[in-house]
Amino acid sequence: MGPGLEAIVLDVDGTLVDSERDGHRVAFNRAFEEAGLPDRWDVERYGELLAVTGGERRINAYFEEQGMPEDEREELASRLQARKTEIFTEMASQGEIEARPGVSELLDELEDAGVRLAVATTGTRKWVEPLLDRLFGLERFETIVASDDAPDRKPDPMAHEMALERLGLRASAAPGLEDSANGLRAAKAAGLACVIVVNDYTREQDFDDADLVLDGFGRPDAPVSILADPHRLDPPGRLDVDTLRRLTAASDSAD
């Protein structure tokens, strides 16, 4: 038997915060407007573009689709991403980006239970840390692995592996919490059990390899719906520490 639940490795974008549709997408469009570009990403188009992880890569892929020459689009993507990050950071610091319902309660419960909190995100430290600090308090996260530290983006497992290394833990002691197929693939490639909490953009993605799939975190007044539960964990209307402990035990016994 392994050591049980000692830590959890958390994604940020779309997982802890519902930031894609009303955060990043809005910031990209503001950056396009400032640059005098006609391009605007509506909700549906942005959902399609999320298949490309990392903002600069996303812009680059978009302009490649538009037939823009490589040298031109790479310079433009770099400049737009830098400005978009500034805009998004301003939005985060001004309270325009909110935690998903139930997240704060889960983090409090994890902290009270002595479960260490780590972050593995494709976001940049420039906006991730101010956002986490405003919403949850930065000091409660033992380690934050951002794209600055792990440039190989999800589905590459680099960020998860680095988080485990910094925690000094085996993967069996620290499940991952993600919202997307890319996040799931990254966590699994690093050896972590993985809980998926879907959002509107990721709901239809392939989560066949997930250990638990929920449509939210759940609260007493808004119980969560279970979309997949291969280990028969049967969470009590919300994601809680006991469910994560039972997941860790089930995953460890399956190894």
**Residue 94: pLDDT band by 50, 70, 90 thresholds?**
confident
pLDDT at 3 over 90: no
pLDDT at 255 over 90: no
Distance of CA 185 to the CA centre of its chain: 12
What structural domains does the chain harbor? Answer: 7-19+98-254 (3.40.50.1000), 20-93 (1.10.150.240)
Residue with tokens 């950071």: 89
**Per-residue pLDDT at 210:** 98
Taking the C-alpha atoms of residue 242 and residue 248, their distance in angstroms, rounded to an integer, is: 10
Q: Half-sphere exposure of 19 toward its Cβ, with a 13 Å CA cutoff? A: 28
With b meaning 16 or more CB within 10 Å and e meaning fewer, what string describes 42-65?
Answer: eeeebbebbebbbbbebbbebbee
Nearest to 202 by CA among 8, 32, 15, 69: 15
Whether pTM exceeds 0.85: yes
Q: Half-sphere exposure of 187 toward its Cβ, with a 13 Å CA cutoff? A: 29
- Which residues on neighbouring strands pair with residue 120, listed in sequence order? 145
CB 186 within 8 A of CB 154: yes
pLDDT at 1 over 60: no
| Contacts with 28 (C-beta within 8 Å, 6 or more apart), sequence order | 41, 46, 55, 59, 80, 84
- φ/ψ of residue 118, rounded to 5: -125, 155
**Residue 254: pLDDT band by 50, 70, 90 thresholds?**
low
**Mean pLDDT in residue range 9-26:** 93
Average pLDDT, the chain: 94
The residue ranking higher by pLDDT, 80 or 95, is: 80
pLDDT at 8 over 50: yes
**Mean pLDDT in residue range 147-156:** 93
Q: Half-sphere exposure of 23 toward its Cβ, with a 13 Å CA cutoff? A: 27
**Per-residue pLDDT at 20:** 87
Taking the C-alpha atoms of residue 169 and residue 165, their distance in angstroms, rounded to an integer, is: 7
Q: What is the CA radius of gyration of the chain?
A: 18
**Mean pLDDT in residue range 98-108:** 96
The catalytic site residues sit at: 11, 13
pLDDT digits (tens, 9 = 90+) for 201-251: 999 999 999 999 999 999 988 999 999 999 999 999 999 999 999 999 998
In terms of DSSP H, where are the helices of 20-119? 25-34, 43-49, 55-65, 70-93, 103-112
pLDDT digits (tens, 9 = 90+) for 39-57: 999 999 999 998 888 899 9
Taking the C-alpha atoms of residue 46 and residue 32, their distance in angstroms, rounded to an integer, is: 14
Proportion of the chain above pLDDT 90, given as a percent: 86
Nearest to 59 by CA among 40, 80, 42, 45: 80
